[in-house]
Amino acid sequence: MSTDLPTPITPQSIFNFDVLFNNPVFAGGIGLAGLGAAAAFGRKAAIGGAGMLKRQMLVNIEISKRDPSYSWVLAWLAQPRDNSGFLAQRLTRMRTLAVTTATKSINPGRVSDEGRTHADFRVQPGFGRHIVRPRPGVYIAVNREKASTTSTATGEPHETLTLTLLWAHRHVLSEVFTEAHALAQRFHEGKTLVYTARRMEWAPLGKPRLKRPLGSVILDEGVKERIVGDVREFLDAQQWYTDRGVPYRRGYLLYGPPGTGKTSFIQALAGELDYSVAMINLSEVGITDDLLAQLLTQLPEKSILLLEDVDAAFTNRRQRDPDGYSGPTVTFSGLLNALDGLAAGEDRIAFLTTNHIDRLDPALIRPGRVDLMERIGEATRYQASQMWDRYYGDIDKDGAGRERFLGRLEELGLFGESKDPDVPKRHTSTAAIQGLFQFNKGDMEGAIKMAQGLIPRTFEADASGIGGSLKSPA
């Protein structure tokens, strides 16, 4: 056996430095390790440098899902854009997409279309990283992330969208937001957005609906003009309020029987003013004092607050328990606080509706809470006549049909002013007239013939008190 063979490295010889350094295998190893260390150091420096470069040269902008621009920018990202060019084509290909589908029935009411639906697919960038090229030479890296933490208010995970671009291109960001906003506006143009309370936040109730023209809601003579005039005056008077240190708020109460156009009018008014509607139904279980207060502090921008069925707060007059619990519904004090307490927003138009004015407390109607009250009542002759013109104006040129229709309603005592002692005084609602006209589309004679159907039906409980029936008096 030759003696100059390298000593085999055994566990025992590990502490023998001589052996170690004379061992070409080990020395080589150390050399490599040294190189590795140097490389690691170099890499770290490079990463550090890149990090610094990134900090110096890149701009990050983070958008939270709670911000309105989140959905605008997402929609903007999904816009088709010119990606010609070798690099752009490869870089900007989106591989993760998310789809939101909205369906609606086709021609509801037409038997042949029953069950058929129209689906609307909206594609948006999915979670993950994407690159977009808003204009030649400008690239934006997009990262849509779902955080592991959840929002305490909704229980939904937080979502963020981060846009990263070169510092030199930062001016593009303002263009991105302007374009995204314009796109959202175009999408909402001619539409009214309705928000409702979802858990602890405002959420859009369905898709934006087509604006309802103010002219399509027919209130008694002068009523509409009075309310619209007042709202407009209020909107023009912001400076007056600011100068006097008065909270810029105005409250309206619309009361009257069901189906008289209260809700429809408020929706149309919002459309007219280009506002959205933020609606809460106080008779809904789960709307508590705390929730109401919380929602009012974060009212969506440019929206009319609509509190439906405010009488619910009066039937539940119970104050808070000593332990602070106010029950599953809104209390009287909760509503008053929401309207002009500390929780009340600074800048707000509120509409309250009720079918039971008699249940309200005078404290509610104090100026500052409710500044203008209007009864929206049963259909008057004026309203019936206006509605007729809207539905049959084009075929009833000389108005003869309208006169016969109004005469028939009078005969039936539906304007509550019949001179005939045998005809009971009664009323009908504009909703019922709308129903009659819709049933008899383009058929005046049919509408006149069926006018009797406008007599309100009454619900009469039977003797046992268990059942009941709907009765239409002749």
Residue 218 lies near ligand ATP (rule: CB under 6 A)? yes
For residue 146 the two structure tokens come to 């779902």
Residue 418 lies near ligand ATP (rule: CB under 6 A)? no
Residue type, 370: V
Q: Which is nearer to ligand ATP, 128 or 215 (CB)?
A: 215
- Choose the contact partner of 316 out of Mg ion, ligand ATP, none; CB within 5 to 8 A by kind: none
Rounded least distance, CB 263 to Mg ion, Å: 3
Residue 217 lies near ligand ATP (rule: CB under 6 A)? yes
- Choose the contact partner of 288 out of ligand ATP, Mg ion, none; CB within 5 to 8 A by kind: none
Q: How many residues bind ligand ATP (CB under 6 A)?
A: 14
Alpha carbon distance 194, 279 (integer Å): 7
- Choose the contact partner of 380 out of Mg ion, ligand ATP, none; CB within 5 to 8 A by kind: none
Alpha carbon distance 364, 368 (integer Å): 9
Alpha carbon distance 354, 262 (integer Å): 9
- Choose the contact partner of 65 out of Mg ion, ligand ATP, none; CB within 5 to 8 A by kind: none
Rounded least distance, CB 62 to ligand ATP, Å: 42
Rounded least distance, CB 384 to ligand ATP, Å: 10
Q: Which is nearer to ligand ATP, 433 or 448 (CB)?
A: 433
- Choose the contact partner of 418 out of Mg ion, ligand ATP, none; CB within 5 to 8 A by kind: none
8 burial level (CB within 10 Å; 0-12, 13-18, 19+): exposed
Separation of CA 184 from chain center: 13
Q: Which is nearer to ligand ATP, 72 or 252 (CB)?
A: 252
Rounded least distance, CB 264 to ligand ATP, Å: 3
Work out whether the CA dihedral 452, 458, 462, 463 comes out positive or negative.
negative
Rounded least distance, CB 218 to ligand ATP, Å: 4
Alpha carbon distance 381, 427 (integer Å): 11
DSSP for 107-156 reads STT-GGGTT-EEEEEEEEE-SEEEEEEEETTEEEEEEEEEEEEE-TTT-P
- Choose the contact partner of 295 out of ligand ATP, Mg ion, none; CB within 5 to 8 A by kind: none
Alpha carbon distance 45, 469 (integer Å): 85
- Choose the contact partner of 259 out of ligand ATP, Mg ion, none; CB within 5 to 8 A by kind: ligand ATP
Q: Across-strand partners of 142?
A: 130, 163
Q: Which is nearer to ligand ATP, 173 or 431 (CB)?
A: 431
The DSSP secondary-structure symbol of 214 reads G
User: x/- string (CB under 6 A) for ligand ATP, residues 252-281?
Assistant: ------xxxxxxx-----------------
List Cα–Cα distances, 403 to 43, 71, 329, 430, 445, in angstroms. Answer: 91, 52, 48, 17, 12
- Region from 244-252, 272-280, 394-402, 430-438 binding ligand ATP, contact rule CB under 6 A: 430-438
- Region from 224-232, 240-248, 429-437, 441-449 binding ligand ATP, contact rule CB under 6 A: 429-437
- Choose the contact partner of 444 out of ligand ATP, Mg ion, none; CB within 5 to 8 A by kind: none
- Choose the contact partner of 260 out of ligand ATP, Mg ion, none; CB within 5 to 8 A by kind: ligand ATP
Rounded least distance, CB 426 to Mg ion, Å: 22
The residue within the footprint of ligand ATP, chosen from 142, 172, 197, 219 (CB under 6 A), is 219
The phi-psi region of residue 436 (left if phi > 0; otherwise alpha if psi is between -120 and 50; otherwise beta) is: alpha
Given a contact cutoff of 8 angstroms between Cβ atoms, the answer to whether 422 and 412 are in contact is no
Residues interacting with Mg ion, by CB under 5 A? 262-263
Residue type, 272: E
- Region from 161-169, 214-222, 358-366, 458-466 binding ligand ATP, contact rule CB under 6 A: 214-222
Rounded least distance, CB 120 to ligand ATP, Å: 24
Alpha carbon distance 126, 129 (integer Å): 9
Residue 334 lies near ligand ATP (rule: CB under 6 A)? no
Q: Which is nearer to ligand ATP, 258 or 362 (CB)?
A: 258
Rounded least distance, CB 192 to ligand ATP, Å: 14
Nearest to 388 by CA among 404, 374, 377, 373: 404
Question: According to CB under 6 A, which residues from 349 to 368 bind ligand ATP?
Answer: 355
Helix (H) or strand (E) holding 382: helix 381-392
For 367, phi then psi, to 5°, come to -55, 145
Please identify the residue of the shown chain whose CB is closest to the bound Mg ion: 263
Non-local CB neighbours of 315 within 8 Å, separated by 6+ positions: 359
- Choose the contact partner of 326 out of ligand ATP, Mg ion, none; CB within 5 to 8 A by kind: none
Alpha carbon distance 474, 468 (integer Å): 19
Interface residues with ligand ATP (CB under 6 A) are: 217-219, 258-264, 355, 430-431, 434
